[in-house]
Chain A
Amino acid sequence: MSKETREIVIPSQLLGDIKDKKAGRGTFIEKGKIYAEVLGVLNINPEYINVVPLKGRYDPIQNDFVIGIIIEAMSSSWLVDINAAYPALLHVNEVPWDVDFGETEKYLNMGDTVMAKVLSVDQEKKLQITLKDRNLYKVKGGLIIDAEPSKVPRIIGKKASMISLIKKYTNSRIFVGQNGRIWIDGEPNRVKKVIDIINMIEQESLSYGLTNKIEDLLKKYTKDVH
């Protein structure tokens, strides 16, 4: 990782030439030059020029774990809002229960929350999700908060370092969906601490050594409690 300050780029900003680097995510090529297409943070590695977006909708990718809210129960499937540009389809074959035709509402109804996996994204961006994987189920209890989808990698940390740190010190159960929804369950004052920490990570997502800083904070917190 380079130590120089992170540079914010805006759409149409010239980033380089295709002779030197490849155009990565968040960029487009015109007449042999690479330009930024979204508002984001410039990230140059030896091969690619990337722009990591600061804002914007969640772009679903196959096998992402997400938290969805049921918006409609149809006779053999559900429509689920996963914070993407389009609602996702959850078919009865993709749930762990044996659902009779027309009885979907008995299992999942409008407003229910599920932890799910993105099963497929087709060319028209039609989305399908599934509950058939380990640790996927209907959410009971706990609290869901929204974060910016582009900040999720930061909240999870490298090899889940950040999130396991928070889990360890606050002793609460946390599930971070790639779509920016975070489920937290535990004692109320601990849940509150988790929310504070996550808000802090979101706000300072661009600073360096954040994991260490958060760890110090959590250590101090656990001392206060005991």
Chain B
Amino acid sequence: MKTDIKLLENGKRLDGRKYDELRPIKIEAGVLHRAEGSCYLEWGGNKVLAAVYGPREAVPRHTQNPLRAIVNARYNMAAFSVDDRKRPGPDRRSREISKVISEALENVIILENFPRASIDVNIEVIDAEAGTRCAGLTAAAVALVDAGIPMRDIPVSCAAGKIDGQVVIDLGKNEDNYGQADLPVAISPRTGEILLMQMDGHLTMDEFNQALDLAIKGCHIISDLQKKAIMEKYQKITEVK
């Protein structure tokens, strides 16, 4: 895409960040009363709310697995989350994101504990500014821990990309729209396994490796924020005397 926008100037990006600097992130666990677990996350201009229900018996019955639970993640963008009103309801894009997030979460939840059950994760994007699937997955992970669901790890996600020929971390809105590539990655921080990876645009092999390393580095930073958010909520309980 040809544009006149200069995405990089004197090594600084449009919003003044360095190439390896993340947008500010705020995570809060346990914000909803009726859900078993929930999380509110702000990541730059993204505002995401995740809620976990279950484990409960999966319906319709034919979706049940007699040996393990199924994970139903549902990613939804609010009509008012983007500049031009988004037509509400599931579309091709949100179905794809729901599917990849479900599969990423299936790899860390201990599903064998709940045969025939489903674990429902609702991810609601209230405000969007590029990188909502990463924000959604990160919020969903915190909500799952808050729900007390047994997990092998707390998954975490971060994107990297290429703008004006430079590999950078965590693309903003204009960088995503007018940049050359976007690479969202989700990992299991304890083992370093990759749970989700998609790529949009073009990268050379070298650039790809560079972007992947950068995204994983970002994941580890966010992972610490996730753990801090959970601890903050539950540390209070032990302090009561």
Measuring CB to CB, which residues of chain A are less than 8 angstroms from any residue of chain B?
A: 5-8, 10-12, 26, 28, 30, 35, 37-41, 53-57, 85-87, 123-125, 150, 203-207
Using known A-B contacts A8-B231, A85-B55, determine if residue A55 contacts B146 with beta carbons closer than 8 Å. Answer: yes
Instruction: Determine whether the beta carbon of A8 is less than 8 Å from that of B238.
Output: yes
Question: In angstroms, how far is the closest chain A Cβ from the Cβ of B234?
Answer: 5
CA distance A5 to B146 in the complex (A): 22
Question: In angstroms, how far is the closest chain B Cβ from the Cβ of A139?
Answer: 24
User: Which 9 A-B pairs rank lowest in CB-CB distance, beginning with the nearest?
Assistant: A56-B148, A55-B148, A37-B150, A11-B151, A85-B55, A12-B153, A12-B190, A85-B117, A38-B150
Instruction: Determine whether the beta carbon of A35 is less than 8 Å from that of B152.
Output: yes
User: Which of chain B's residues 223-241 have a Cβ closer than 8 Å to chain A?
Assistant: 227, 230-231, 234-235, 237-238, 240-241
Instruction: Determine whether the beta carbon of B152 is less than 8 Å from that of A28.
Output: yes
Residues of chain A within 8 A of B114, CB atoms compared: 85, 125
Residues of chain A within 8 A of B230, CB atoms compared: 10, 39
Interface residue range, chain B: 20 to 34
Instruction: Determine whether the beta carbon of A206 is less than 8 Å from that of B238.
Output: yes
Question: In angstroms, how far is the closest chain A Cβ from the Cβ of B153?
Answer: 4
Measuring CB to CB, which residues of chain B are less than 8 angstroms from any residue of chain A?
A: 36-37, 54-57, 66, 110, 114-117, 145-154, 189-190, 227, 230-231, 234-235, 237-238, 240-241
Using known A-B contacts A30-B152, A39-B145, A55-B37, determine if residue A8 contacts B234 with beta carbons closer than 8 Å. Answer: yes
Contacts A28-B150, A39-B146 known; list 6 others, CB within 8 Å.
A8-B235, A11-B145, A85-B55, A86-B117, A125-B114, A125-B117
Instruction: Determine whether the beta carbon of B116 is less than 8 Å from that of A124.
Output: yes
Q: B238 contacts which of A5, A56, A125 (Cβ < 8 Å)?
A: A5
Instruction: Determine whether the beta carbon of A54 is less than 8 Å from that of B116.
Output: no
CA distance A207 to B238 in the complex (A): 7
Instruction: Determine whether the beta carbon of A11 is less than 8 Å from that of B147.
Output: no
Question: In angstroms, how far is the closest chain A Cβ from the Cβ of B169?
Answer: 23
